[in-house]
Amino acid sequence: MANRIGHIGADYRSRFQLALAVCLLGFAVTYLFSSLERVTAQAEQQGVRLMLNQFRSALVVKGAEAMLADEKLEPLAGLNPVQLLERPPMNWGGDCQRTNAEPGGWCFHEEKQVVVYFPRSPDARATITGQEGAGTEPLAWRVEVDYTTPAGNKPPRAVGLKLTRVKSGQINLENYRD
């Protein structure tokens, strides 16, 4: 009888160890996936920042070229900045009105003259914008002329091109395909 009780106790002990191992493994996997989501959102943020910096660099060069040629900068407002790059990004979708942009993709809305990015997840959008609970709606930027105001009563002077974020409330990007 002692063997039988000892055997039953050992059986419960191994079941308890198995249950404990499964619980610990579940916590570890949950922590791993939450860390993976956070790192993925940070990587997406870095990719978006890199692309925006490439756009801005190309706009600086284009603005300088136009100013050296004594051209006005105003006609360049609303320009598609991807046209200034040597080659379009790998996740470039072209015209927003003609293509379905994938999450993580870029496109240009010709009519609204904005370059649009579609975040992969709400976490990625929150990381990119710095706003919690931002959802997954697209982000948009517009090329605008940058002005400086000289001292005195002189009129503002165009000094270059800049990329300005368009706030979600300023432009309806939910129906980006017309």
Per-residue pLDDT tens over the stretch 92-102: 988 887 777 78
Residues 6+ apart with CB under 8 A from 66: 72, 73, 76
Q: Kindly state the percentage of the chain with pLDDT values over 70.
A: 87
What pLDDT does 10 receive? 64
What pLDDT does 129 receive? 77
How far apart, in whole angstroms, are the C-alpha atoms of residue 57 and residue 51?
A: 10
Comparison of pLDDT for 84 and 2, the residue scoring more: 84
Q: Is residue 173 part of a domain?
A: no
Query: How many domains does one find in the chain?
Result: 1
For residue 118, the SS3 value is: coil
pTM of the predicted model, to two decimals?
0.76
Q: For the chain, what is the mean pLDDT?
A: 83
What pLDDT does 38 receive? 84
Q: Is residue 175 part of a domain?
A: no
Q: Is residue 43 part of a domain?
A: yes
Phi/psi of residue 147, nearest 5 degrees: -115, 150
Q: Is residue 103 part of a domain?
A: yes
Mean pLDDT of 27-54: 88
Residue 154, pLDDT > 90, answer: no
Q: Is residue 81 part of a domain?
A: yes
Q: Which domain holds residue 140?
A: 2-166
Q: Is residue 139 part of a domain?
A: yes
Q: Is residue 178 part of a domain?
A: no
**Helical H segments across 117-161, by residue range:** 122-129
Q: Is residue 177 part of a domain?
A: no
Question: Binning pLDDT at 50, 70 and 90, where does residue 43 land?
Answer: confident
Residue 35, pLDDT > 90, answer: no
- Owner of token pair 């930027």: 141
**Helical H segments across 69-142, by residue range:** 122-129
Residues 6+ apart with CB under 8 A from 126: 41, 132, 133, 134
